[in-house]
Amino acid sequence: MDRLVVIGGSDAGISAALRSLELRPDMEVTVLVSDRFPNFSICGLPFLLSGEVTDWRSLAHRTREELEATGMRLRLGCKARSVDATRRTVTVSDADGGNFDLPYDRLILATGALSVKPPVEGLDLPGVFFLRWMEDGLACLNFLKERSPRSAAVIGSGYIGLETADALTRRGIQVTLIQRSGTLRKTLDPSLSRLVDEELEKHGVRPVQGMTPKGVERSGERLVVLDERNRRVEADMVLVAVGARPNSELAAQAGADLGAAKAVRVNRRMETGLPGVYAAGDCVEAYHRILEKPVYLPLGTTAHKQGRVAGENAAGGAREFAGSLGTQVVQVFDLVAARTGLMESEASVAGWRPLTVETECPDHKAYYPGARNLQIRLTGDRETGRLLGVQLLGRRESEIAKRIDVFAACLFHGMDVEALNDLDLSYTPPLGAPWDPAQAAAQAWGSARKMRKA
Amino acid sequence: MDRLVVIGGSDAGISAALRSLELRPDMEVTVLVSDRFPNFSICGLPFLLSGEVTDWRSLAHRTREELEATGMRLRLGCKARSVDATRRTVTVSDADGGNFDLPYDRLILATGALSVKPPVEGLDLPGVFFLRWMEDGLACLNFLKERSPRSAAVIGSGYIGLETADALTRRGIQVTLIQRSGTLRKTLDPSLSRLVDEELEKHGVRPVQGMTPKGVERSGERLVVLDERNRRVEADMVLVAVGARPNSELAAQAGADLGAAKAVRVNRRMETGLPGVYAAGDCVEAYHRILEKPVYLPLGTTAHKQGRVAGENAAGGAREFAGSLGTQVVQVFDLVAARTGLMESEASVAGWRPLTVETECPDHKAYYPGARNLQIRLTGDRETGRLLGVQLLGRRESEIAKRIDVFAACLFHGMDVEALNDLDLSYTPPLGAPWDPAQAAAQAWGSARKMRKA
C-alpha cells in the first residue's frame, strides 16, 4: 500500500500529497498536473488582471522545487484519461501525446471545477474570457496587454465577477456588470448587497440589472452582449463568471457515485466508495456542518481542508472532514463583505424558524478617531436560539474578515446566539468595544426575539 | 424583592443595572455613583491625554439622560459608607456631606479597582499622577494643558503604562518609560516584548529597564525619580501605572469573604454569600475558564460580563459567568499586541506540560501588495494536545484584535490545537490565506510536538 497517485495539482491535490508525505514520508506519491501550474493560487487571478500582482509566478503557493523537496513526484502536463478502479490503474496522456498506465494503491481525485458555460451564443469568440485556471487568467492578461481594451462587460456578480469588475476598473477599464439577479445574491441579503452596488457605482462600474444574456456578437472591433429583449451592452472584451461546476467526469467513468450538483459523492473521510479511492476539493460534495448533509460549495479553503483529510486517510489515518460553513469574504474596492453559515432563506428551507436582525455599529469606540460603522445581519433560530448564520459588511480597516471568523468559530461549535455574550473577546478603544459588535448584534437579536414572543 | 441598589456607576455597575431593568422593568433600581461620571469609559483616558479624544464628555458610553431613560435612578456624588447585610441597608454620604440609609432587597457591589501605590516616597507631590478614574484623567489633562510639560516619566510598562507612553509622545512630550522587568511581561514572552520595545524606541520613547523607583523628589521646577542605586530620571511630570487592586473594603466590612488578591469572593453566579448581595467587576475575583479557579484579572470586558450576570441574577435569573480567558489587546503606536489564555509559565504552574511554538507569517497572501508579517506564539499541552493560550503581535492593519478573538473562541470551547485546522475561516488573497495564520500556527505546533516526541 505504498503508491499514492493524486490527480490534480491545485489546492486539494497538493494539500493531500503534502499531508500524506508528512505522515508517511516513505510513501511514493505522484501528482498528475494537467497544466504546468502546480499549486498555484487561482484565487489570485483577479489581482493579476488588476496589475496588483505584477508577476504571475508569484501566484504559486510553493515553487516546483519546494514541492519536490517534500518527496512528491510532479508530472506536469499529464492528463488522467481514465481510471480502472478494479485494476487500480490510471491511464494518463502526457504532454507529448503519449499514453501510459500508472498503477496505484491509493488514489485521490482532485480534479477541481470547471467554469459554468451559460447557454449564450458566441462564447468562443476572441475577446470572451472565463477565469478559473491559470491558463484562463494568462490568456486574459495577454489580451489586456496586447489590446489595451477600454471597456469590458462582466457577466455575473458573484465573487469572481465582482473581483474582476474591481480589477479591470483598477486597470482603467470601464466595466459594465451584467447581473441576472442581485449582487452577491448567494451571500448577502438585499439590504447589504445594495451597499455593495453603491460602492461599485462610486468607483465607476456600471451595473445592468435583470439581464440574462442570450448571445455575444462581433460589432466591428468590439463585442456586443444581447439578451432576449435585445438589450445590448457593447464592450471591447467580455468576461463570463456565472459559477463553477464539478469536474467529476473522470470519477463517474471510474464508477464513483455523483451527488449534489453532480459532484463526486464522498463520505466525511473523503472516500468515494471505490476501493482505495478518495476525492477532495471543487470536484466533490462538501458536508455542511449546520445542514448536516452534503452540498456543493466549492471554495479554496474547503479544498485545502478536504485535501488534507484525504491525504491523512490515504496515509492510513481515520480523519473526518469537520464540515463547511460556507465562510466567505470578498473585497470590493474599499468595502469588505463576508458571510458564514446560513442565510435566512436557506435556514427556512432546512426547517428552522429563522429570525434575522440587522445591527449597525461602529468598529471601535466612537470617541476614538476613525470609527466606521459596520453592518451585521445575524440569523438565529427563534425556537432554539441557535446561531445559524451571519452576514457582515464594512470597510477594509474594520477587520471584517476576522470578525466573520469569530462567528465561524461560534457556528462550528453550534453555539446559541445568547452564548456569544459569554465570549471573552479583546478590547481596546481604538480597536473595539467592551461588548464586541458580535455581542451587540447578539443582544439586539435576543431583544428582537423576545419582542416577537411577547 | 423589588429594590435593587447598585454601588458603583462604572462598567460592572451600569451593566448590572441595565440588565436587571431589561428583564424586570418594574424593579426599582438605584445606582450610587461616587463621582460625577456614570458609565464613563475609563479605558479611554489615555486617548484623552493624547489629544485624540478632544472632549472628555464623549468618553461616556451613554449619557445620563440615556441611562435614566431606562428607568434607573442615578445618585451622583454618593459614596456608600457601610453595608448592613442583616438589615439590608446601605449607609450613604451624599455630595453635600449628609448621610442617609438606603434599604435594598438585592445589592450589587461594583466598586471597581484602585491604582496600586508602590512603596515610593513623594507620590503625593504635584505633577505625579495615577490613571484609573475620570478624576485622575482630568487632573492629568489639566496639568498638561496648564503646564505644557516637555518631558514625562512613566513608571510601569503594562497596558496603561504603554498607552500613556504612546499618548504623551503623540502630544509631543519626551517620555521615559521606567520598567522593573520587561515590557508587557504579564502578556508577552520576551521574544515579542522585545519588538514592542523597538516600536517604543522608534517613536522616541526612552526605556529604562530594571529600575525599581524608591522615591520622587522635587528638583527646581522638575521632578526626579530615584532608585536604590541612585539612578535618576528627571522629568516635568510623573505618571504611575503599576497595576490595580480590588476596592473591596466595603464588601469586607459588610462581611463578605475576600479571595484572590483580596478581591471579593464570588461564585459563578456572582453571589458573595451574603443574603441578596452580588458583586461584579474589578472589585471581585474572576473565574478563569482554563484554570477552572478564581483569579484576579481586572478587565473592562470582564466587568461588563460579570455585571450583566449579576444584574440578570438580581432580577431573578440563574445565569453563570462563563469565565475569563484574560483576552487582552493593546495598541502601541503602529503595533498591536494581544493575548488570550495562558502563557507557558502560567500553564506550567497549573500542572500542564506546555509547549510553545512561535510562527511568523504574512497577514495575507504575500503576492498581494501590503502583506506584513505577524507573530503568533501558540501554547498547547503536549500531552493532551489542548490549546492553552496564544500571544499575537503585528501591525494595526493586520487585524490582530480580531485574530486573537478567533483564538479566544477556540479556547472558550476547550479545543485541541489540531482541531483549529478544521475551522472554516474566511479567505480572499488581499485579506488572508487559505490556511489562516491561526491554522499555520496550529500546524507548526503539531509538527514541533511530533518532533519532540520522536
The three-class DSSP label of residue A341 is strand
Q: Would you state the cell numbers that stand for residue B374, as one nine-digit string?
A: 505577524
pLDDT of B97 above 90: no
Order of strands across the sheet that contains B387-395: B328-332, B335-341, B387-395, B373-381, B354-362
Q: Which of A288, A402, A422, A439 has the most B C-beta neighbours within 10 Å, making it the best mutation to test the interface with B?
A: A402
Residue B188 buriedness (CB in 10 A; 0-12 / 13-18 / 19+): buried
What distances in angstroms separate CA B8 from CA B36, B79, B88, B294, B420, one per listed residue? 11, 9, 17, 22, 40
What is the predicted pLDDT for the residue at A303? 98
Nearest Cα residue in chain B from A369: B52
Measure B329 CA to nearest chain A CA, in Å. Answer: 6
Nearest Cα residue in chain B from A46: B429
Measure B149 CA to nearest chain A CA, in Å. Answer: 24
- Global confidence as pTM: 0.97
Q: Which of A364, A428, A450, A453 has the most B C-beta neighbours within 10 Å, making it the best mutation to test the interface with B?
A: A428
Local confidence band at A68 (pLDDT 50, 70, 90 cut-offs): very high
Quick check: B338 and A426 CB within 8 A? yes
* Residues B82, B254 contacting (CB under 8 angstroms): yes
Quick check: A412 and B424 CB within 8 A? yes
A118-175 per-position pLDDT tens digit = 999 999 999 999 999 999 999 999 999 999 999 999 999 999 999 999 999 999 999 9
What is the arithmetic mean of pLDDT over B254-267? 97
DSSP A75-138: EET-EEEEEETTTTEEEEE-TTS-EEEEE-SEEEE---EEE---S-BTTTSTTEE--SSHHHHH
Q: Which residue has 499529464 as its cell numbers?
A: A78
What is the predicted pLDDT for the residue at A406? 98
What is the predicted pLDDT for the residue at B452? 82
pLDDT of B95 above 90: no
Q: Smallest Cβ distance to B406: which of A304, A305, A409?
A: A409
Quick check: B52 and A369 CB within 8 A? yes
Quick check: A304 and B436 CB within 8 A? no
Q: Which of B164, B312, B425, B447 has the most A C-beta neighbours within 10 Å, making it the best mutation to test the interface with A?
A: B425
Local confidence band at B93 (pLDDT 50, 70, 90 cut-offs): very high
Local confidence band at B1 (pLDDT 50, 70, 90 cut-offs): low
Q: Smallest Cβ distance to A425: which of B323, B399, B405?
A: B405
Residues of A in contact with B447 (CB under 8 A): 22
pLDDT of A422 above 90: yes
pLDDT of A335 above 70: yes
What is the predicted pLDDT for the residue at A69? 97
* Residues B103, B48 contacting (CB under 8 angstroms): no
* Residues A428, B299 contacting (CB under 8 angstroms): no
B294-306 per-position pLDDT tens digit = 999 999 999 999 9
Quick check: A47 and B300 CB within 8 A? no
- What gap in Å lies between CA B285 and CA A97, rounded to an integer? 74
For chain B, the farthest-separated pair of C-alpha atoms sits apart, in whole angstroms, at 73
**If you average pLDDT over every residue of chain A, what do you get?**
96
Measure B214 CA to nearest chain A CA, in Å. Answer: 31
Residues of B in contact with A435 (CB under 8 A): 304
**If you average pLDDT over every residue of chain B, what do you get?**
96
Kindly give the interhelix angle for B11-23 and B300-314, rounded to the nearest 10 degrees: 30
DSSP A166-193: HHHHHTT-EEEEE-SS-TTTTT--HHHH
What is the predicted pLDDT for the residue at B453? 76
- What gap in Å lies between CA B339 and CA B408, rounded to an integer? 9
What count of CB pairs under 8 Å joins A to B?
Answer: 201
* Residues B40, B10 contacting (CB under 8 angstroms): yes
B315-349 per-position pLDDT tens digit = 999 999 999 999 999 999 999 999 999 999 999 99
B114-128 per-position pLDDT tens digit = 999 999 999 999 999
Which of A43, A283, A361, A410 does the annotation list as catalytic? A43
- What gap in Å lies between CA A423 and CA A436, rounded to an integer? 9
Quick check: A431 and B367 CB within 8 A? no
Quick check: A406 and B410 CB within 8 A? no
Q: Would you state the cell numbers that stand for residue B376, as one nine-digit string?
A: 503568533
Q: Smallest Cβ distance to B368: which of A47, A326, A338?
A: A47
- What gap in Å lies between CA B298 and CA B264, rounded to an integer? 12
Which of B43, B140, B361, B410 does the annotation list as catalytic? B43
- What gap in Å lies between CA B207 and CA B153, rounded to an integer? 10
Quick check: B327 and A436 CB within 8 A? no
Q: Would you state the cell numbers that stand for residue A317, as one nine-digit string?
A: 489515518
Quick check: A426 and B327 CB within 8 A? yes
ipTM over 0.90: yes
Nearest Cα residue in chain A from B397: A397
Q: Is A43 a catalytic residue?
A: yes
Quick check: B299 and A427 CB within 8 A? yes
Local confidence band at A1 (pLDDT 50, 70, 90 cut-offs): low
Worst-scoring range by mean pLDDT, A182-196, A412-426, B24-38, B151-165? Answer: A182-196
